Structure 1
Amino acid sequence: MNFYSTNNPDHQVSLKDAVIKGLAPDQGLYMPVAIPMLSQSVIDNLHKMSFQEIGYEVLGALFEDQLEPEQIKTLVDHTLAFDAPLVEIEEGIYSLELFHGPTLAFKDFGARFCSKLMSILMEEESQQVKVLVATSGDTGSAVANGFYKVPGVEVIILYPKGKVSDLQEKQFTTLGENITALEIDGVFDDCQKLVKEAFLDEELNSKLILTSANSINVARWIPQCLYYFYAYSKLDKAGKKLAVSVPSGNFGNLGAGILAERMGLPIDTFIASTNVNRVVPAFLEGGRFESQASIPTISNSMDVGNPSNFYRLLALYDNDESLFREKVKGFYFDDHHTRDAMITVYHQSKYIMDPHGAVGYLGLRNFRKQFPDEYVGIFLETAHPGKFRETVEHALNLTIELPERLAAFMDGEKQALPLENDFEAFKSYLLK
């Protein structure tokens, strides 16, 4: 399967080129030329399969002409090395816990897949690859730990000064080795802009091999579809429709869910749940897609005012805006409502949500109010609440004990280079 640019369907490249280049020369995102449909037999038997067996089926369908079966098995086994439990927190509402990986965030799945696939594709290359990553929080920690000490790869993480939690920052600024953190005087969208400009700079690309491990890279994006299949396999729908609520910032995770649905997974409705950075919900309500300056919130990993994956979402629906609005519903919530949801769920069920999961829960709850008894729903709990310890403890008036592997990061010494929000400064650093 080849991959095309969302800005030019005639521009097509191999899997290797899509992964190593990250972004198309015209700034488009790479998409599979054709999305394979799984057989009805596979869908019907998902409940009999392990997480890994589901991975072999799904990734086999996507990459069978680009990778050997043994390579696909290696990728799946490395990526799906931990569980993603489905937990019912109230009748008809389930939390899909995606925080049981090394950095306790959903991005561990994509980061582990991306690092392993990149090492497979670059085995015979002699030049070092520079992986450029913009992060609003969890991407940085997941990518840093996924690529830590991977031979032939240097990871450079750009993050907005003072706008990620202390624990998130420690997870990608304390490793050293092949991981470098650049503290940018700006917001996430500034970091993302610097990365995109680097990919388009002719001088940089003539001297360096640059790629990305953000969700703009297909190797980060595609494997996230696997846990949608797995969640479905664990769910008793009892004759009801299925709605899935995805707390969203850059919208790669929602796009992966739509990819699963396009491959045949029977998800009836997706819910794009955001904080007050509401550019996509505004579009889904009938407005135009217009980027805005990002607004800081307690769900900081979703503080994105210009989500890169929007055009990937459109492409998944063949650029049919009406179909997009029919299949995806949008809701947004401020910090007050987010905290209230965390408190209410904890008091009712003793279940602790992080702020991002709380936004996903609110979107699902609001959607189901419109269709009493018609839908069973899943919301994605994308990070361990300990990663947002101060916010969660303050809201719930309790103390969270950090998992041992999370607490260990707090003992590390921060190593970050301050850098002004200026492309020439960033370019000079890369050329050094």
Structure 2
Amino acid sequence: MKKAHIFDQRRTGILLHITSLPSGNLGSDAYRFVDFLQASGVTVWQVLPLGPTHSDGSPYQCLSAHAGNNKLICLDSIRGKAWANPAEMTGKKIITIMAHAFRQFSQSASADEQQAFQQFCQHNQYWLDDYVLFRELRHLNHATAWYDWPDELRDRDKSALYEFSLQRREALMVRKFEQFMFYEQWSSLKQYANDRGVKLFGDMPIFVAHDSADVWAVPELFTLDETGQPETVAGVPPDYFSETGQRWGNPLYRWQKHEDEKFQWWQQRLTSQLLLFDLIRIDHFRGFEACWEIPAHCLTAVDGEWKKAPGEALFSNLLAHFGELPLVAEDLGIITEEVTALREQFALPGMNILQFAFGGDATNPYLPHQHRPDSVTYTGTHDNDTTLGWYESLDQATQLHLHSYLARVLKRCHGC
């Protein structure tokens, strides 16, 4: 199968999330970083997931698989709009400032800007309506999870949601406007980067958070009971790093339901991600071949079991829908021949991690001489220490191995 066009050219990149910029938002620092990448000959900028996070701040357990994190919005850029009155954009919370901005936008924005907002709402209705309802309900329920809301809201009673939508119409429009501003700022940054030869590289977790707009909107697609509680959850089995494995707690997919709906949920999810990024890493790719299913009542991952997933059917569907798949498979962990075959069948590059390479023998698959052409090589991932921190933590024998290996590589290069 032919690989996506973006992989025709060999590239170098940097992983730096938006929150690691000095301002931590999509303002001028982000554009200066693009300039730095261009000047350095770097053509890929990878970030972590951009969704709104829970209170722990983890971008891998977001409140939505589609929405942008409002904390990444550059408020100074909004204050600089022709329709804006900065003096009236007051408040400590972003949502309060955005409420003032939305009123000014509604009163003073041009007809073209108003139309752009309406088109954004229409084009993204498949996720936006549920998302703003979810966020407003969650706010009024003191940030409690949706499965702890009153039954009629938890279970999405149509009359209750309709009445709530009427009562909170302006607040819901503010939240839609907030997403419009995020997508507008990200689109401008992406265009600026692409014009300078820099591709934006996203990150898409395989699973979504239990407490998310995605699960609340279509609970039938997940392994939940009638009260919204999970029956089974995701994780990984015991290994070298943990005797009890990892219990992530995300509800698993009812794959038969997804297949029955011709994977529409996945098409929509990838559609929103491809609006944001030129290529996307899929976290925990092996879960598309088989995932570790843990009974929800278990406190650890020990009692889980591998359950097959319809990866071939899913990616065949996505390939037919999108034409090509600019995806990178995070194929770390317990990787079987079946997982590798699935990745290769759809021409998806895998991953190499240099921090895993040293301290063993010459058969270590992460040593550079073992790397495959169809792969992306990282010094480390978002789970790893910095390269300097990693190096300083190595024992003397591993440092000597590293020095010896790199010396041979450099000698070979100088001899070319």
Greater strand percent: which structure?
Answer: 1
How does the TM-score come out when normalised to structure 2? 0.29
Q: RCO higher in 1 or 2 (8 Å CA, sep ≥ 6)? A: 1
For the pair shown, the structure with the greater C-alpha radius of gyration is 2
